[in-house]
Structure 1
Amino acid sequence: MRIEKTVFISYRRTNTFHARAVHQALCGRGYDVFLDVESINSGAFEQVILAQIDARAHFVAILTPSALE
């Protein structure tokens, strides 16, 4: 069962500043937020990301012009 105040943030590395700002704002409002700021081992990357997406009630995509390039 997912806890409603959980969020996964998807972003491109060039948008780290924006992703961190959203992360900080949501955490300040009591949300448990996954933001992959640390490197995930390449062999486990897909597994970790998919598990975190599945475990979260909400998904936020940071879309900027550079994210769409």
Structure 2
Amino acid sequence: MGAITQRKNKKGGIKYTAQIRLKRAGGVVYQEAQRFDRKQIAQSWLKRRENERAESGAIDLAD
């Protein structure tokens, strides 16, 4: 459900983008992304947001 991608910026530094994307019936019904300086922070954000979405029932509402 979530993914983290690593990218270099213009100055040569590395940034991490954590992205959550929900697809239903071939289409995207929800998308959220956030950029971070450290991979560990991106992983914790991704885990926290996925848990929040699961607890709130937002995944079921997207059907």
Same fold per superposition (TM over 0.5) = no
Tell me the TM-score normalized by structure 1.
0.32
Q: Which has the higher contact order (CA 8 A, sep 6+)?
A: 1
**Which one has a bigger Cα radius of gyration?**
2
Determine which structure has the larger strand proportion and give its number. Answer: 2
* Larger proportion of helix: 1
